[in-house]
Amino acid sequence: MTQRDVAKLLNARFLEASEDYDREAVNFCGADMMSEALAFSHENTTLLTGLCNQQVIRTAEMLDVHAIIFVRGKQPTPEMLEMAKEKDIVVMSTCETMYNACGKIYHATHKGE
């Protein structure tokens, strides 16, 4: 599944993509506490969160997160988007709740199991 596929699945808007719409999305982590995200460290992770501050971008950089999806319609600041661009992190926003977004992704990635 690509980031473009994830965006379509969640009806999300790309806010910062650095032309990486087709980057592969392999692992997913849903967390509003960055300590929880830190406990889940896998390569090529897409982070779903309702927390909308610069710490999210810093945590994503430390964990080599390739994409952040802000749920519940959260909108990052221009400064956050600039930080993400510098770090080559795809940023999206969806109006889906964390629960629904994670459920949709789980369903789409675990068909037939």
- The arithmetic mean of pLDDT across residues 103-112, rounded, is 90
Using the predicted structure, report yes or no on whether residue 18 has a pLDDT greater than 70: no
Rounded to two decimals, the pTM is 0.92
The answer to whether 109 touches 24, Cβ cutoff 8 Å, is: no
Give per-residue pLDDT as tens, 55-73. 999 999 998 899 999 999 9
Q: Of 95, 32, 79, which Cα lies nearest the Cα of 59?
A: 32
Domains, the chain: 3-109 (3.40.1390.20)
Percent residues over pLDDT 90 in the chain:
71
CA distance readout (Å), 1 to 32, 33, 90 = 23, 25, 15
Phi then psi dihedrals of residue 59, to 5 deg: -65, -45
CA distance 78 to 45: 23
In the prediction, which pLDDT does 98 show? 97
